[in-house]
Amino acid sequence: MEGTVNKKAAEEKKKKRTSLKSILGGDILATDFFRRQTKLLVLIMVMVIFYIHNRYASQQQQIEIDKLKKELIDIKYDALTRSSELMEKSRQSRIENYISSKESDLQTSTNPPYLIK
């Protein structure tokens, strides 16, 4: 009887001993510990996948934000350029030169403007 108990104890000792071969072979997943913790391991894997997805989505949004900031800067510079061109073309001296080059009868008024009451 003691012989069978010793054999069982020796077998349990062998089973409990973890070796590199059992880890690489996947035998470690068949142990009682991993069977009891299956739900926890699945939950951890789901959370890891969620974390990876969240990080990827965040990086994609950051890339989009950077692209839109560059586009906004380009549009602002374009608007500034157009505004300065419009201001240059609408100056009184430029208008007077344009009218005189077209041989028009229009002239700059020599009398100051006055209010009508």
Mean pLDDT by 10 residues, the chain (117 residues): 62 66 80 88 97 98 98 97 92 84 80 84
Q: Residue 63's pLDDT is what? A: 98
Residue where the block lists tokens 């157009």:
82
How would DSSP label each residue in 44-70?
HHHHHHHHHHHHHHHHHHHHHHHHHHH
Q: Are 48 and 42 a contacting pair, CB within 8 Å?
A: no
Q: Residue 7's pLDDT is what? A: 66
